[in-house]
Amino acid sequence: MAKRRVAVIGAGVCGLSSIKCCLDEGLEPTCFEQSGDIGGLWRFEEFPERDRASIYKSVIINSSKEMMCFSDFPIPAEFPNFMHNSKIMEYFRMYAEHFDLLKYIHFKTTVVTVAKRLDFPITGQWDVVTETEGKQESAIFDGVMVCTGHHTNAHLPLDSFPGIEKFTGRYFHSRDYKSPQEFSGKRAIVIGIGNSGADLAVELSHTAEQVFLSTRQGAWIVKRTGEDGYPSDTAYITHYMEFLRCIVPLSLLNYLAEKKLNANFNHEIYGLQPRHRLIIPSHPTVSDGLPNRIISGKVLVKPNIREFTNTGAIFEDGTREEDIDVVVFATGYSFSFPFLEDCIKVVENQVSLYKYVFPPHLEKPTLVFIGLIQPLGSIMPIAELQGRWATRVFKGLNQLPSASNMVADITQKREEMAKRIHFRYVKSPRHTIQVDYIDYMDEVACLTGVKPSLLSLFLMDPKLALEVFFGPCTPYQYRLRGPGKWDGARKAILTQRERIIKPLKTRAVGDYTHHTLGPYLFMIVCAITLFVIIFSYSLAPSLNGYI
Ligand SMILES: Cc1cc2nc3c(=O)[nH]c(=O)nc-3n(C[C@H](O)[C@H](O)[C@H](O)COP(=O)(O)OP(=O)(O)OC[C@H]3O[C@@H](n4cnc5c(N)ncnc54)[C@H](O)[C@@H]3O)c2cc1C
Ligand SMILES: *[C@@H]1O[C@H](CO)[C@@H](O)[C@H](O)[C@H]1NC(C)=O
């Protein structure tokens, strides 16, 4: 039988891992990438193509290396835990080279339409029309994996900002921000306190005269580093934490976690306190610099903007800032699939997908969306699991439930999310595709048959089980068993802490452990002296007359 052909649209991270998943399952992938290179969003360019996602020059990833890597290709030990985008690209190139993925990619080729063939109900085949340098071509595929990302279309809600048309300064979306030089000495407003908003406010504040950070809701701010300086995601994304979430009342968890974050800096005093609680439904912002820039007065936190004036803005609390040179809208993204107009509808930034992957109404499950999620963790490991599951469904090795059951599942998920997103919590585009990290990965892993069984692990390999349960939920865990099992997974898990520490060992530190005896001796001497004093005072009356 001829190998089934799969079209992979886009060669960002999700595209790369999808190509690999196809190869692992013996499918024949053809990847179409409209730009001239791999990496998608992570490939920084001063002037990127209009329809490719784009980042600023200084972007450092907010998930740590052990949490974001591909599950059978650990990031080299000497790479830093939080990588600059150039380093991430280096890793992606290593991955593509190691698994020999480049030869499947057609660069400078845009997918223009993807349409069901007439015999789709029987074959599940697609007509894929591509365009290369103005020339169109059509080909037939047995499966399609959409890996076009969801950070491409800038969401610029100008309608919500009356007066913007008369504002004479410059304004633009965060996707068009590249570097801070040109804003030196300027007065800037950054709107939005997501990861981009916080990052840009901090970066601009180093050279700008003044930065105002306008936020409607506020945000919980988490640092990249946690206890002992370990990446904080390695501490809170664990099966153990997930277990706690199941048994400890949510209000108590919220209280403890918020207390911890407020110990870094008090969110109320700093004007950042959101109305929503920290754990579920919130999406915290990762920023190390923001509190410092606020206490230095370089960033002033403001409420939402009520309206713009010719040269400034009036905020919802009635305060006014004038002489504003520039406004950056860090207001997020929306997604669309122009090439799929006929068979998939995006309404209010929502699409109905079973487990965020399969459209439920197709006669054959041969179309999937990879990475169309907003996890509280890294997208990469999720994209990989989705790809592993999808390719097995393509091959008929795994079955999907009936359309009505899938729709019921989607509706149930949506209702759960709606319940969690507190009614006061303003809906923003990204929350429509937000998922719980470990929950979701376990779910997809289960469907694929690769979820590690903790119980049997504890019986057979307790050392490994302890690290799997208490340690960071790293992607290698999903390579311990089942289809796609990788022999290196156990070792990768047991050595993950070494790889975290390794890049920090750039200065040999001798054993200068300070002698702890000194303080103890001092305390013991103090205690004895105190005792003697008290003792002699209490004896004093009876000694009267003798001395
Ligand atoms: C500023 C910023 C910071 C981020 N930081 C993090 C982070 O710290 N951690 C994290 O996990 N995620 C982060 N993300 C999310 C990011 O989207 C993912 O990390 C990841 O890059 C998504 O990969 P992707 O392959 O889905 O999409 P992309 O990287 O966007 O790649 C999509 C590719 O598809 C191509 N394409 C699109 N349409 C077509 C077409 N019709 N035909 C052919 N090719 C097409 C594009 O050219 C592109 O190369 C960040 C996003 C932004 C905007
Ligand atoms: C990291 O930043 C991106 C882009 O702003 C965001 O989508 C993602 O949710 C962030 N991840 C975490 C763990 O906060």
pLDDT in tens, 524-538: 888 888 888 888 777
- Ligand 1: list residues with CB < 6 Å: 9-15, 32-35, 40-42, 52-53, 55, 59, 61-63, 68, 110-111, 147-149, 151, 196, 339, 371, 378-379
Q: Report how far Cα 431 is from the mean position of its chain's Cα atoms.
A: 13
If residue 417 lies in a helix (H) or strand (E), which one and from where to where? Answer: helix 403-420
Q: Whose CA is nearest to atom 1 of ligand 2?
A: 62
Q: Whose CA is nearest to atom 18 of ligand 1?
A: 379
Query: Per-residue pLDDT for 490 more than 60?
Result: yes
pLDDT in tens, 448-463: 999 999 999 999 999 9
DSSP string, 246-272: HHS-HHHHHHHHHHHHHHHS-TTTTT-
Distance 374 CA to ligand 2 centre (A): 8
Residue % of the chain over a pLDDT of 70: 94
The arithmetic mean of pLDDT across residues 65-72, rounded, is 97
Q: Is 330 in the pocket of ligand 2 (CB under 6 A)?
A: no
Query: Per-residue pLDDT for 544 more than 60?
Result: no
pLDDT in tens, 154-201: 999 999 999 999 999 999 999 999 999 999 999 999 999 999 999 999
Neighbours of 401 (CB within 10 A): 12
Neighbours of 449 (CB within 10 A): 15
Query: Per-residue pLDDT for 214 more than 90?
Result: yes
> Whole-structure pTM over 0.85, yes or no?
yes
Q: Which ligand is nearest to the CA of 39?
A: 1
How much is the pLDDT for 7?
98
How much is the pLDDT for 423?
40
pLDDT in tens, 86-115: 999 999 999 999 999 999 999 999 999 999
Phi, psi torsion values for 329, nearest 5 degrees = -90, 100
Q: Whose CA is nearest to atom 6 of ligand 2?
A: 195
Distance 152 CA to ligand 1 centre (A): 8
Strands (E), 61-134: 105-106, 109-116, 126-132
Q: Whose CA is nearest to atom 49 of ligand 1?
A: 40
How much is the pLDDT for 426?
43
3-class secondary structure, 305? strand
Token pair for 364: 């054959």
Nearest to 339 by CA among 144, 142, 135: 144
pLDDT in tens, 355-412: 999 999 999 999 999 999 888 889 999 999 999 999 999 999 999 999 999 999 999 9
User: What sign for the dihedral angle of Cα 355, 357, 121, 339?
Assistant: positive
Q: Is 376 in the pocket of ligand 2 (CB under 6 A)?
A: yes
Residue 292 and residue 174: Cα distance in Å, rounded?
Answer: 22
Would you say 43 and 16 are in contact if contact means Cβ atoms under 8 Å apart? no
Mean pLDDT of the chain: 91
How much is the pLDDT for 424?
37
Specify which residues 31 forms β-bridges with. 8, 105
Q: Which amino acid is at 15?
A: G
